[in-house]
Amino acid sequence: MTKGYFTFVLHSHLPWVLGHGRWPHGTDWLNEATAECYIPLLNQIIKLADEGYHPYLNIGITPILQEQLGSPGFSNEFEYYLRNKIEAADNDIKEFSKKGQKKFLSIAKMWKDYYIKINEDFSKKFGGNLLNSFCQLQNQGYIETMTSAATHGYLPLLKYDRSVDAQINLGVQVYKKNFGQAPNGIWLPECAYRPSYKWTPPVGDDKTSYNRKGIDEFLSKHNLEYFIIDSHLLKGGKAIGVYLARFKALGNLWQHFKKEFVEIKEDFAKSPYEVYLVSSNLQIKPVAIFTRDPETALQVWSGDLGYPGEPRYLDFHKKRYPGGLRYWCVTDSKIDLALKEIYNPDVVEDKIINHARHFVSLVKKISTQYYEENNRPALICTPFDTELFGHWWFEGPNWLYYVLKFIEEDNEIELATGKTILEKFGREKIISLPEGSWGEGGFHYIWLNQSNDWTWKRIYEAEDEFYSLYDKFVDSRDEKSVRILKQLSRELLLLQSSDWQFLISTWSARDYAELRFSRHFEKFNQLARMLKKGKFEPDEINFLKDIEKQDNCFADLDLSIFKGEQGNPH
């Protein structure tokens, strides 16, 4: 008897990096994720399928990542990256052989074999096109892929409803192009949601309040069936704490939300192990939500309690230069890098299996307890960033293989995709959700604070400028004006990526994020000046050609996605 259904959601995303540097920040982010996460993930899914299992997974691939994985420029970059890694391993092999360092030599050979295999898989097994491989697995019924906002824009804070609609509309269009069908589910960037209410921009000089649609209304408009939320939103959005006091604009936004938000009255207790419908407007079709289970998520995410902190697993932080290969194990997450011990791949397999069994036992415990208390199966959803598995946690793809295998072998819990859950279980209960995200503090703090509020002022300036120019030039018959307007829209979309605020807040690549944001803003303004002037000098046309080449995402972009609704300037 099935007491619980488990939905594993992997969210795959990287910002647009092609043409914007290589190392330490740039295309190597994409190369690392492909070599350490995406290809190993595909290999594990195919391995399970070949063994007769059904690895039902939800895999979200953001549109901007799809654009990069499908780019010819990426294939060239990735092959160059792999050659360098193989060469680095060869150099280490020579040095360790010369010094008689047998343990290090063994790991260097492991890395050489690893990257040779990745290279062969990419070029031969997957034909240089990972999107086709994900598509084939979906068509075979093993996985369900999901879309996201076009450039992973932080939707609740965008100034215009037209911007939110364009991000989602384009996300659906890119998905259809690559997967040959409409998406069922969407990953909201940063799991960030905003209901409908009278909203005021949190920064800048414009303090006009106007009615904003709920994010769910845009999803319903584009026939999206479900999205993922963090558990605190289901409970009422109380995970705010000290963060509102740290930044006045954020506190004002929260107070304004509380004043304007009209909550649907509910006469039932809500559980993260149920699927609900969300509606900001009862006149349109509501959208389903899956809620992140905090208990299972903690086992992987937690720096103190999570499996990746196992002392014998490969350490992410310590690398050998030149080459950047890793030779040490975690040892202890709190000790100095100099004290890390050498990695031994021969002793980790048993630990991976034990961690997988522990995780499955936890899923089973939750399922059994919920079933016994409610007389119906638990619907458990656990979302993670795909890049955790393989990049941050090298053993992660192997762990995932065993988890999927062990769950299928258990007769009381089942794997299920989001689509399957919605088909199997009726959705009747409609709820309202507060504003928030899965970020630190539960609200918008990571994406709106003292360190990055200047980016929002510029995004709002760009939105104002763009829609003024869009309404004037969208029907222009001048070919160059339309070209400029299209590139202007690309720069706006890239400017809206939530990655810039995140990287600035966390200091993980702050200089790169500030530089990238500023350059997109500069290019946007230069294009806007050209469009308003109407006469284009040769150097301006060359400028346009250069950025069309550098920021060549969404090549077949349809400008109608920015049109908005008649009578609504926002």
Backbone angles phi, psi at 197, to 5 degrees: -170, 170
Alpha helices (runs of H) in 198-346, residue ranges in sequence order? 215-221, 231-235, 243-246, 248-260, 294-301
Diameter of the chain by CA atoms?
76
Catalytic residue among 32, 36, 77, 190: 190
SS3 content of the chain, % helix, strand, coil (to 5): 55, 10, 35
Q: Which domains are delineated in the chain?
A: 451-562 (1.20.1430.10)
Quick check: 447 and 502 in contact, CB under 8 A?
yes
List the catalytic residue out of 87, 90, 95, 385: 385
Nearest-angstrom CA–CA distance, 34 and 137: 17
528 CA to centre of own chain: 30
Catalytic residue check, 120: no
Q: Whole-model pTM?
A: 0.94
Active site residue 479: no
| Distance in angstroms between the alpha carbons of the first and the last residue of the chain | 51
The answer to whether the CB of 67 falls within 8 A of the CB of 89 is: no
Q: Are 221 and 201 in contact (CB under 8 A)?
A: no
φ and ψ at residue 442, rounded to 5 degrees:
85, -10
CB distance 254 to 244 below 8 Å: yes
* pLDDT tens-digit profile, the chain (570 residues): 899 999 999 999 999 999 999 988 999 999 999 999 999 999 999 999 999 999 999 999 999 999 999 999 999 999 999 999 999 999 999 999 999 999 999 999 999 999 999 999 999 999 999 999 999 999 999 999 999 999 999 999 999 999 999 999 999 999 999 999 999 999 999 999 999 999 999 999 999 999 999 999 999 999 999 999 999 999 864 444 444 445 555 566 656 555 556 566 666 788 999 999 999 888 889 999 999 999 999 899 876 789 999 999 999 999 999 999 999 999 998 899 999 999 999 999 999 999 999 999 999 999 999 999 999 999 999 999 999 999 999 999 999 999 999 999 999 999 999 999 999 997 778 998 999 998 888 889 899 999 999 999 999 999 999 999 999 999 999 999 999 999 999 999 999 999 999 999 988 899 999 999 999 999 999 999 999 998 889 999 999 999 999 999 999 999 999 997 755 666
